[in-house]
């Protein structure tokens, strides 16, 4: 039973793996970032000065957002080694315990960031695969009609493969992505060698002149420049799998040099031939290398998409554990790596949304208008949450905290504002996805709070009940009864129903509560607590982290014996109470009726607790109860 992160590997192996998983998204940005930055629609002429200014803006955006913000600052705000916005939200929750007034707004901000991530998870496969396959039409316009069907076919195959897990091909991710970055660097050197003047873009004053010299157009261009830093959030989200050291070495040793060489190579091409703006990435490579580059780019974008899809699965599992989503079927696809999971419901929803995006937008340029909003929104939320961690969690002085995060918040706000201009052109798409996910997540969490409050109000305290029960004890039968309950201090409804209908009690009774802590991993020695209640009754609490797999039977079987409580499967019965939610218009303290109905529908379709907690199905008895909210 896995209790913590995967076993340590060599730094070199972890760095190679990080290339494939962490940097797949940002590594495919050269396919479209330069093309969109210098798009003729912005109205900025492709003069040498403007090309150098645009390249300088891309370079310093990468240095500021990725190198300084994420690699230097954000990655320090880890939750026991784990990153990502849900892990950060849990860390914020622990940091502001002395300031409860901040809890509601910060939780709302964190959920907004998480919700926008799902928009990113839809757009990354769509724009990445589509932009790679568009290389076919660069070779000959006769292939243009096949771009959309081929892209859709690649995406469908990718999502159909998910149920098999990535263990079989995961070892290829690193080498293929390394080959991709070497190809990026080689193409960039090829372009720079023909026009070394492009290296003058390293001067930050050229970026400043570009951003201030074209009025509103300069601001609009920022919404395209941000495409160069998409995927930066993955550095933080996936650092728990590989460690900070491997992620940083991969960035400074391979990814950043390769990206900048390629961006500057594309810039050199545009200075020499402004007409190449139609697709500077593919026009940069020699004619003989075009189709091999299309194949390599498609492989790289599939890997980038896989990383985002896997991230959506992990985000979903963390959200379920932290109480923001209903239970869903989570399939472990690897016996060795706990992070490799598959969530069927999320997989099919993502597939439908990605195909809709590819067909609906039709080209990578149109998708680019939609892409930046979700990315920059999540980045902004991450920076804001980080402020509260370093201020209240680490206890740093206020001025230092404001200085450390204020500049990055300003940068994020600028990028986010620039992408909002494109809402009408496609930016609405991830916002709609984000708004839907935000409503689902907040409705589920609030509905659970109301439902548990209703259950507590209609129950009695456990210990006084047991005391009165044993004054005239019911007949006791052999075996162990385990009653699962979310409220350990009160009598489970399943016990009341069992006593009412069967008029008996097992010789040993266990009241079991499963809790999820706001840390990624709970070690074995802290996972179980056993409290004797007398007359062979026990209160047991199992504690899991939001990255742990909550395996109830294995935990009881392996951890409880050292607390004097042993379980024999064929003599143990699990009693579960299944609540049926009844929306009521005038319920005091409830939600709007449409939200109550949404919560009732989610509760009705939530995954089985039996499967989710890995309870032996042939030892389960479910007893129903109705709850009005």
Give the per-residue pLDDT at 502. Answer: 84
3-state secondary structure of 214: coil
495 half-sphere exposure, CB direction, 13 A CA radius: 26
Residue 315 has pLDDT above 50, yes or no: yes
Mean pLDDT across 197-211: 94
Residue 280 has pLDDT above 50, yes or no: yes
Residue 221 has pLDDT above 50, yes or no: yes
Residue 141 has pLDDT above 90, yes or no: no
Q: For residue range 64-120, what is the model confidence (pLDDT) as tens digits?
A: 999 999 998 888 887 777 778 888 888 898 899 888 889 889 989 999 998 998 988
Beta strands in 367-524 (DSSP E): 475-484, 504-516
- Give the predicted TM-score (pTM) of the model: 0.83
CATH fold group of domain 11-446: Amino acid/polyamine transporter I (1.20.1740)
Q: For residue range 265-274, what is the model confidence (pLDDT) as tens digits?
A: 999 999 999 9
Mean pLDDT across 205-222: 91
CB–CB of 490/461 below 8 Å?
yes
Residue 166 has pLDDT above 70, yes or no: no
Mean pLDDT across 501-528: 89
Q: What is the domain partition of the chain in residue ranges?
A: 11-446, 458-628
Q: For residue range 325-364, what is the model confidence (pLDDT) as tens digits?
A: 998 988 877 655 556 778 999 999 999 999 999 999 988 8
CA 147 – CA 110 distance, rounded (Å): 37
Burial class of residue 225 (count of CB atoms within 10 Å of its CB; 0-12, 13-18, 19+): buried
Q: What is the DSSP string of 544-591?
A: E-TTS---HHHHHHHHSGGGT----GGGEEEEEEEEEEE--TT-TT--
Mean pLDDT across 521-548: 90
Q: Is 512 left (phi over 0), alpha (psi -120 to 50) or beta?
A: beta
pLDDT band at 275 (very low <50, low <70, confident <90, very high): very high
Average pLDDT over the chain, rounded to an integer: 88
Q: What percent of the chain has pLDDT over 70?
A: 96
Helix (H) or strand (E) holding 412: helix 398-420
Task: Name every residue whose Cβ is closer than 8 Å to that of residue 254 and which is 6 or more positions away in sequence.
Answer: 19, 178, 181
Q: What percent of the chain has pLDDT over 90?
A: 50
Residue that the structure tokens 């900070």 belong to: 244
pLDDT band at 3 (very low <50, low <70, confident <90, very high): very low
Q: Quick count: other Cβ atoms within 10 Å of Cβ 149?
A: 10
What size, in residues, is the chain? Answer: 629
Mean pLDDT across 33-57: 93
Give the per-residue pLDDT at 2. Answer: 42
Q: For residue range 448-468, what is the model confidence (pLDDT) as tens digits?
A: 988 888 877 777 889 999 999
Q: Quick count: other Cβ atoms within 10 Å of Cβ 99?
A: 12
CA 166 – CA 26 distance, rounded (Å): 20
Give percent helix, percent strand, percent coil of the chain, each to the nearest 5: 70, 10, 20
Residue that the structure tokens 């109830």 belong to: 552
Residue 316 has pLDDT above 50, yes or no: yes
CB–CB of 30/227 below 8 Å?
no
Q: For residue range 466-480, what is the model confidence (pLDDT) as tens digits?
A: 999 988 888 999 999
3-state secondary structure of 468: helix
Q: Which of 257-261, 425-429, 604-608 has the highest mean pLDDT?
A: 257-261
Q: Which of 166-170, 277-281, 315-319 has the highest mean pLDDT?
A: 277-281
pLDDT band at 587 (very low <50, low <70, confident <90, very high): low
Give the per-residue pLDDT at 4. Answer: 46
Q: What is the DSSP string of 299-363?
A: HHHHHHHHHHHHHHHHHHHHHHHTTSS-----EE--SS-TT-EE-HHHHHHHHHHHHHHHHHH-S
DSSP annotation of 96 reads: T
Mean pLDDT across 607-622: 88
């Amino acid at each position: 039973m896995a209790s913590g992160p995967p076993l340590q590997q060599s730094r070199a192996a972890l760095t190679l793996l990080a290339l494939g998983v962490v940097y797949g998204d940002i590594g495919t940005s050269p396919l479209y970032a330069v093309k969109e930055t210098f798009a003729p629609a912005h109205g900025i002429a492709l003069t040498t000065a403007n090309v150098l200014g645009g390249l300088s803006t891309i370079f310093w955006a990468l240095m500021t957002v990725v190198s300084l913000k994420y690699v230097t600052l954000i990655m320090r705000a880890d939750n026991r080694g784990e990153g990502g916005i849900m892990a950060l939200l849990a860390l914020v929750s622990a940091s502001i315990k002395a300031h409860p007034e901040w809890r509601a707004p910060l939780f709302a901000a964190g959920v907004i960031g998480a919700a926008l991530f799902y928009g990113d998870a839809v757009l990354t496969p769509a724009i990445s695969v589509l932009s790679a396959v568009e290389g076919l039409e660069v070779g000959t316009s006769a292939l243009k009609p096949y771009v959309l069907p081929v892209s859709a076919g690649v995406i469908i195959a990718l999502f159909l493969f998910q149920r098999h897990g990535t263990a079989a091909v995961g070892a290829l991710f690193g080498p293929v992505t390394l080959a991709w970055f070497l190809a990026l660097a080689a193409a960039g050197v090829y372009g720079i060698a023909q026009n070394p003047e492009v290296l003058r873009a390293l001067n930050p004053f050229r970026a400043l002149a570009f951003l201030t010299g074209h009025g509103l157009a300069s601001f609009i261009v920022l919404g395209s420049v941000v495409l160069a830093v998409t995927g930066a959030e993955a550095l933080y989200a996936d650092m728990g799998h590989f460690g900070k050291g491997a992620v940083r070495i991969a960035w400074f040793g391979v990814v950043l040099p390769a990206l900048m060489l390629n961006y500057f190579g594309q810039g050199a091409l545009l200075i020499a031939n402004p007409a190449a703006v139609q697709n500077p990435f593919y026009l940069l490579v020699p004619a003989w290398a075009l189709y091999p580059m299309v194949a390599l780019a498609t492989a790289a974008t599939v890997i980038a998409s896989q990383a985002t899809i896997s991230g959506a699965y992990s985000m979903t599992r963390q959200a379920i554990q932290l109480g923001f989503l209903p239970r869903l079927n989570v399939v472990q696809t690897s016996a060795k790596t706990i992070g490799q999971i598959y969530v069927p419901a999320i997989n099919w929803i993502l597939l439908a949304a990605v195909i809709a995006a590819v067909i609906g937008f039709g080209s990578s340029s149109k998708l680019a208008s939609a892409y930046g909003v979700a990315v920059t929104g999540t980045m902004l939320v991450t920076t804001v949450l980080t402020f509260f961690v370093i201020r209240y969690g680490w206890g740093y002085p206020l001025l230092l905290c404001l200085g450390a995060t204020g500049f990055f918040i300003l940068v994020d706000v600028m990028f986010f504002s620039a992408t909002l201009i494109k809402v009408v052109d496609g930016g609405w798409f991830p916002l709609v996805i984000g708004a839907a996910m935000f409503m689902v997540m907040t409705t589920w969490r609030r509905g659970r709070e109301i439902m548990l409050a209703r259950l507590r109000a209609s129950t009695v305290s456990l210990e006084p009940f047991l005391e009165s029960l044993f004054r005239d004890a019911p007949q006791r039968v052999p075996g162990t009864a385990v009653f699962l309950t979310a409220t350990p201090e009160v009598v489970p409804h399943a016990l009341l129903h069992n006593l009412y209908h069967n008029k008996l009690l097992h010789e040993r009774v266990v009241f079991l509560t499963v809790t999820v802590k706001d840390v990624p991993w709970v070690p074995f020695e802290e996972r179980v607590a056993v409290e004797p209640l007398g007359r062979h009754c026990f209160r047991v609490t199992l504690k899991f982290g939001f990255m742990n797999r909550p395996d109830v039977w294995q935990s009881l079987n392996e951890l409880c014996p050292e607390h004097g409580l042993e379980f024999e499967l064929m003599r143990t019965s699990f009693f579960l109470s299944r609540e049926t939610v009844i929306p009521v218009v005038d319920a005091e303290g409830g939600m709007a009726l449409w939200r109550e109905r949404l919560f009732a529908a989610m509760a009705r379709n939530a995954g089985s607790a039996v499967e989710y907690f890995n309870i032996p199905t042939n030892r389960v008895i479910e007893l129903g109860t109705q709850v009005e909210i």
